[in-house]
Structures are given as C-alpha cells and as structure tokens.
Amino acid sequence: MAFGLTRAVWNYRGFVVGSVKREFQTRYRNSLLGGAWMVLNPLAMIIVYTVIFSQLMKARLPGVDNGLAYGIYLCAGVLTWGFFSEILGRSQSVFLENANMIKKLSFPRICLPLIVVLNAGVNFAIIFALFLGFLAVTQNLPGWTLLGVVPVLLVQILFSIGLGIILGVLNVFFRDVGQFVGIFLQFWFWFTPIVYPLSILPEAVRPLVAWNPMTALISAYQTIFVYDRWPDWSSLWPVALAACVLCVLGMRLFRKRAGEMVDEL
Amino acid sequence: MGSVLVEGLGKAYKQYPNRWARLAEWIIPFSKPRHQLKWVLQQINFRIERGEALGIIGINGAGKSTLLKMITGTTQPTSGRIAIEGRVAALLELGMGFHGDFTGRQNVFMAGQLLGLGMEEIAGLMPAIESFAEIGDYMDQPVRTYSSGMQMRLAFSVATARRPDVLIVDEALSVGDAYFQHKSFDRIREFRKAGTTLLIVSHDRQAIQSICDRAILLDHGRLALEGAPEEVMDFYSAMLAEREQQTVRQERLDNGKVRTISGTGEAGFVDIALLNAQGQRVEVIETGAEVTLQVTVEAKVAVPRLVLGFMIKDRMGQAIYGINTHRLGRALERVEAGERVVYSFAFRAALGKGNYSIALSLSRFDSHLDTNYEWRDFALVFHVINIKQPDFVGCAWLDSNLTIERDATPELAAL
C-alpha cells in the first residue's frame, strides 16, 4: 500500500516539483524586485527580532551575558514555529483550496499535502539560511551541535505532516476544523516557550507545558543556538513517537476517506 | 491493452439528516450508519473491446458524467468494479489546470505534468503540440490573453499529444471553430485506427453515429439500452419527445434495423408511399428521378395544429435532408377528429446509389420535442440506383457542369 502510494507520487514528481516552483513564480511574477522579496521579507523579520529586541529594548535572557542572546533565542523558536504553523495552516485547507482540481482530474491526491510541505520547506530554508548567515556574521554560530538541528527538524516535519493531513481531511467533512485550527494555533504558540523562557513560568504550570510536544522541539533548537549544547534527546523520543503515530493515523484516515472526500467537495 | 470492463458499477452519495449525524457516525464506535445512500448510478454493466468506440447517451442528470469520472478514476465507485487495461486520457475538462499568468508553453509543461508526463517527455512532444495547436506566437504569451478557442486548441493538443489506449471524450469537444473541430475529430479517428478504445458522451447524433460502433443509453442512473448507435439514438430521441402520455415502442424490421415509434397517438400515419412520376409505388428509384412522398395522416382527436415532417437518412443514419410543413409555412390549424389529410412532397431524388430510409414526425410545432403526436423511424426504406448518370461518389447528386478550356498548342498556332 505504502509502496503504491510512493510510486504514484514518484510518477507525479514532475507535477509536484512544478507546482512548488509555480507557487513561487506566481507570488513574485508581477513585482519589480521579483525573487528579492523572497529574501527581503524574512531578513526584515530577523532584524526586528534581533536588533530591535536585543539592542533597543535591551531584552536579556537570564543567565546569559551575550547581548544578542535573546534575539537568537527568539529567532530559534519563532522561525521553526513559523515552519510548523505554515505546514499545519496550509495543509488543513489544501484539499478545499484544490477542490476544483480534485473533482475534475485524476491524479494522486497525496501530492497536494506534499506540495504544501515542500513549499513551506523552501520558505524555511531561505529564512533559516539567512539566520545562519546572521549568526556567522555576529560570530554566534554554534559548533558541531548545529548538526543536532537535522534530526529535530525531521521529527518536527513528520509531526506537522501527520497532524496536517489529519486536519486537512477532517476539514473537508467538518469545516469547523479550519476555524478551530486558527484559534488553536494562537493559543498553542503562547503555550510554548518561544518568546519567553520556560523558567519564568510558575512551577505549577511547567509540567503541563512539558506535555506540549512543541516545547521539546523548540527547546531543542534554543539549546543548540543559544547555549551551543546538544539537545536533550530523551525529551525528543516521545515527540518522535507521537509524530510517527500521527503520520500512520493521518495516512489511514486519508486512505479511508479519500474517495468520499471527492464527493464532499 | 485498451479494453474497458465495467461490472455492477454503482455510485451513491451519502446523505446525512444533519451536520452532527456525520460526526456521530464517525466518533461513536460501532454505531449504526446514520446516512442514507442516494444512488445516482446503479448496476451498470458493459464491456468495450480494444479499438471499439462506445457512445454514451442520456439526458442531463442521467449519470453520464459520474460514469466517466469513475472510469477516469476521479471518483471512486460505491459498488462494482472497473477494469481498464492501458493508459487512459480524458478530454473532459480541457484547460483544467491552466494558469492564466503563465505562457502557453509553460502551461503545456504543467498540464503535461498533471497527466503524469516527465519534463523531457513533454519537451520532446512540444514541437508536435505546438504545430497541432496552430496558435503561432501566442505560444509564448500568457494564457489569459488567449481566446477560449485558442485555449481549447492548446488543451486538446496537450491532452492528445501521446496516443492513449483509452480515450474519453465529452461533448465539450464541440467547442472551437469548425476547422479545429474537424482536425480534432481526424486525430480521434487516427487514434482509433491505431487501436485506441473510445468512449464518447454526446447529444449529437452525427457524432455518435459516425464514430461509434455501439451506444448505451443511461436513464435515471441505469443502463436503459445498449445496441447499435442508430437504434439507441432513435430510442433516445423518442424518449426525449414529450414524456407524458407517450408510448415508445421498437420493432425489429426484416433488414435487422430497429424501428422506433413514439408519440401521444392523437394523430397518426395511415399510409406512407413513395411514388414515381407515373404515380406507382416504388422501392427502387433512379438517381435524379422525380418522385413524390405521399403521407396520409389521420387525426384521432381534434388537434389545434398539425405539422408533418420527413427526414431522409442514409444507411448510416446520417440525415441527408429533412423539412416539415411548419418550415414550409403550411402548418394546418384546427384539424377535426377523424379528419384525414394527404400530404404529397414532390422532389427530385438527387441522391447517390445506396439504401435510404425516411423518418416521419407528426407534431404540433417545429420540433417534435414539444407535443409529439407520432414519430416513426424507418417509416419507409428505399433504394437508389444509378444507371443513367456518370458513376459518382457520395450521396448528394450535385450534377456538376464541366467546361474545359485548353490553350491552343504552339505548333497549331504557328500553322
């Protein structure tokens, strides 16, 4: 089954890659600066988070003397969270947005969430490269621990795909899901130590926040970038497991409902 | 490769009494189904062999599109199965997936990718696609600047760039100018010769009868009739003709053809004859002969208006000539019950050799679709032979006049 799906996607790789490219082309097609916007937007974001927060507002991270530490802390969390929420937000509506195509053409439907993930991936790659560049320039680049980002990112992507497909399929049948996700993501963001360190939370709340799978992921990035240490692998295993379970559930739900989905759109 | 087998095919949509019922059905374990199935297609069985052409006929809502969507794989059947050997291409939603901001060339790549073709493959097919579409420099202009006909041309060229094993065509094909229509039909015929199996949905009698080997008629989601295109088409026309108080019956004639008779029966045919110049009934006539079609009609009850029409069809069922008394400005008003009317259409049989049939209709207005008293296919069959005229090709005797002018040869001029 899984093999058949992979093969179908492989046969349509041209369509997948083409769609990803096309999306970027469409976005900047009629602008003068074109592709430059792909860089300018995230660059502005990084500057806001680092220069303004660290230098002008003098926000400091407890226990670290580096003046840029808070900015780096913020970027490590916000950028990766952005990647997560982009996949989630777009995959929950991906089937609805492509309803026309789904109803009228025959192609492997699983390509659609894949396109979303690849698109978000490219966006993230750009902004992340800028972030690394910024770290290199300010001589804050972590050492070998940077490699720790790779497995953490993989777990995060898996987690978002699984959840995204589930939400995407559910949203076709229950449109409330889309509305709910929008609200839920906001709460989720503030419930994850991204703009604040975990230590400022009251003792009573901390175990609760630890149940949040995103806490483990975001903390891992923060550990790598701010403290230049390997992340706490033991906290990531449960998330990895959850990610796998979500993916399996998502694929099962998708397989079971893909046919009915076409009738519902 | 190219055979299509449809077995016990059915499609139903789930209908829930309210929005919450679906949720309840999903999350309450072992709960009984809370939906009702609305069947739009049921118990469809047919088989198409490699290289065969099948026409699918039916009124809107009969389930034609649903059937095609299931064959192309866009929707899943609720029951039964479809087995297709080979690659399927569908000309259903031409231009679907075209993006207005991109050039024709870029769109060809996208559309090709959506058909599962690789970049190199599309690049290889590009010259052929370009030359078939004949849209010239527009190929590198954004598609939003195209006329709808140009978009059609390009979409058709991409969809048929590679010969499929099974080709599914919707009547959408009648878009575009006459020139391109001919061209696209030629391509479809070429495919057929090369062994492509064809499925065509159309209301167009000409299209179905000229291409298809067989036809099926869908009615209310069921297969109502399967048979020769002409027979199915006749039944369909009769079915279309006003539905209330109508009888449709088909009789098998000696020559194996099926005669369809339908109508309210308020007025009917009493006698139908083809007469030669001497007033004798004939079945065989000479090309160019003066003949008269004499039709005796009787009104069973008083009818407010009576129009008689006849149509001569060739052996393939294609219309050669048809006219009615409404178009001739001679419709009869207020015909009394029991009144008999004798119509005589005199014409010159400018026809080529072969078998012809005459279909007759008695209706109130121009079209038999509105109050059809009686419609009769194969009301009369006759044969045309050609003895006196030069042996020509085709069914229309245009009797062309030939003049030839030749320059005097130089030698002769010199003399």
Say which CATH number the domain at B73 has.
Answer: 3.40.50.300
- Chain A CB contacts of B12 under 8 Å are none
Q: pLDDT-derived band of residue B117, with 50, 70 and 90 as boundaries? A: confident
Burial of A136 (0-12, 13-18, 19+ CB in 10 A): exposed
Q: What is the mean pLDDT of residues B76-81?
A: 86
The minimum CA-CA distance between B170 and chain A, rounded to whole Å, is: 13
**pLDDT on residue B202:** 78
In this prediction, residues B8-29 reach a mean pLDDT of 81
By Cβ distance, the residue of B72, B112, B116 closest to A11 is B116
* pLDDT at position B294: 93
Is-contact A247 A162, C-beta < 8 A? yes
Nearest by CB: B118 against A14, A258, A262: A14
Nearest Cα residue to B363 out of B294, B233, B265: B265
Alpha carbon dihedral A207, A208, A214, A219, in 10-degree steps, equals: -30
Give the SS3 label for residue B399.
Answer: coil
B205 and B279 housed in the same domain = no
Sheet strand arrangement including B79-84: B36-48, B4-15, B79-84
Residue B273, classed as helix, strand or coil, is strand
Please list every residue in chain A whose beta carbon sits closer than 8 Å to the beta carbon of residue B117.
14
Q: Residue B68 and residue B47: Cα distance in Å, rounded?
A: 14
Convert the pLDDT of each residue in B333-345 to its tens digit: 888 888 899 999 9
Lowest mean pLDDT among A145-154, B68-77, B224-233, B403-412: B403-412
Can you list the residues of chain A whose pLDDT is less than 70? 1-2, 57-59, 64-65
Return the residue matching tokens 């067989």. Answer: B214
The nearest alpha carbon in chain A to B19 belongs to A174
Residue type, B2: G
Q: Domain check: are B118 and B54 in the same one?
A: yes
Chain A neighbors of B75, CB-CB under 8 A: 259, 262-263
pLDDT in tens, B406-415: 876 666 656 5
Tally C-beta pairs within 8 A across A and B: 60
Nearest to B93 among A26, A105, A259 (CB): A105
Cβ–Cβ contact B118 with A under 8 A: yes
Cα dist from B372 to A35, B246, B327, B368, whole Å: 67, 9, 16, 5
The widest CA-to-CA distance across chain B, in whole angstroms, is: 111
Q: Give B54-68 pLDDT, tens digit per residue.
A: 888 887 777 888 888
Contact B93 A104 (CB under 8 A): yes
Residues B256 and B208 in one domain: no
Residue B58 near residue B206 (C-beta atoms within 8 A): no
Residue B376 and residue B298 in one domain: yes
Segment B174-185 mean pLDDT: 73
Q: What is the CATH number of the domain that holds B269?
A: 2.70.50.60
Mean of the per-residue pLDDT values of chain B: 83
pLDDT given at position B35: 79
What pTM was computed for the model? 0.70
**Residues B259, B203: one domain?**
no
pLDDT of residue A1: 54
| pLDDT value, residue B227 | 86
pLDDT (0 to 100) of residue A155: 92
Last residue of a domain, one of B231, B261, B293: B231
Contacting residues for B103 by C-beta, under 8 A, at least 6 apart: B139, B140, B141, B142, B143
Contacts of A66 (CB under 8 A, 6+ apart): A72, A140
Please indicate whether, in this complex, the C-beta atoms of A101 and B119 are within 8 angstroms of each other: no
Inter-chain residue contact B113 with A22, CB threshold 8 Å: no
Asked if B22 lies within 8 A of A174 by C-beta distance, the reply is yes
Measure the CA–CA gap between A148 and B17, rounded to whole angstroms: 52
B180, B200, B231: which is the final residue of a domain?
Answer: B231
Is B17 touching A (CB cutoff 8 A)? no
> Are both B260 and B222 inside the same structural domain?
no
Is B97's CB within 8 Å of A105's CB? yes
Range picked from A259-263, B44-48, B320-324 for highest mean pLDDT:
B320-324
Q: Does B23 touch chain A (CB under 8 A)?
A: yes
Task: Provide the token pair at B368.
Answer: 């038999």
Q: Are residues B208 and B290 in the same domain?
A: no
Asked whether residue B238 is domain-assigned, the answer is no
3-class DSSP state of B272: strand
Q: What is the mean pLDDT of residues B345-370?
A: 86
Q: With contacts defined as CB-CB under 8 Å, which chain A residues touch B98? A: none
Top mean pLDDT of A180-194, B134-148, B365-379 is at A180-194
Q: With contacts defined as CB-CB under 8 Å, which chain B residues touch A100?
A: 96
Distance from the B60 Cα atom to the nearest Cα atom in chain A, whole angstroms: 18
The tens digit of pLDDT for each residue in A59-90 reads: 677 776 677 788 888 888 889 999 999 999 99
CB atoms within 10 A of CB A235: 16
Number of separate domains in chain B: 2
Q: Is residue B368 part of a domain?
A: yes
Residue from B23, B76, B78, B91 to probe the interface with A (highest A Cβ count within 10 Å): B76
Is B411 contained in some domain? no
Q: Cα–Cα distance between B151 and B159 in angstroms, integer? A: 12
Determine the distance in angstroms separating the CA of B179 from the nearest CA of chain A, rounded to an integer. 27
Q: Tell whether B93 lies on the interface with A, counting CB pairs under 8 A.
A: yes
In a domain, B244, yes or no: no
Contacts of A101 in chain B (CB under 8 A): 96-97
- Cα dihedral A103→A104→A107→A109 (10° resolution): -20
Q: Does B207 share its domain with B344?
A: no
Q: Taking CB atoms and an 8 Å limit, are B99 and A22 in contact across chains?
A: yes
What integer pLDDT is reported at residue A80 of this predicted model? Answer: 92
Say if residue B95 is in the same domain as residue B153: yes
B247 has a chain A CB within 8 A of its CB:
no
Going from N- to C-terminal start, the domains of chain A cover 40-264
Give dist(CA B290, CA B278) in Å, integer.
Answer: 10
Among the partner residues A15, A258, A262, nearest to B114 by beta-carbon distance: A15
Closest C-alpha to A74, from A56, A49, A54: A49
Note whether B173 and B209 are same-domain residues. Answer: yes
Confidence at residue A244, expressed as pLDDT on a 0 to 100 scale = 93
pLDDT at B368: 65
Rounded CA separation A195/B66 (Å): 53
Q: Give yes or no: residues B192 and B276 share one domain.
A: no
From chain B, the residues in CB contact with A34 under 8 A are none
Note the pLDDT of residue B283: 85
Residues of A in Cβ contact (< 8 Å) with B110: 15, 18, 22
For residue B113, pLDDT over 90 is answered with: no
| Nearest in space to B80 (alpha carbons), one of B49, B104, B46, B126 | B46
Q: Do A104 and B102 touch (CB under 8 A)?
A: no
Expressed as residue numbers, the domain containing B70 is 4-231
C-alpha distances in angstroms, B302 versus A219, B334, B378?
92, 7, 27
| B186 in the same domain as B285 | no
Q: Which chain B positions have a beta carbon within 8 Å of A265's beta carbon?
A: none
- pLDDT, one tens digit per residue, over B239-292 is 776 554 556 667 677 666 777 777 777 888 888 899 988 888 888 888 989 999
- Give yes or no for B97 touching A (CB within 8 A): yes
What number is the ipTM of this complex?
Answer: 0.71
Confidence of residue B38 (pLDDT cuts 50, 70, 90): confident
CB contact under 8 A, B113 and A12: yes
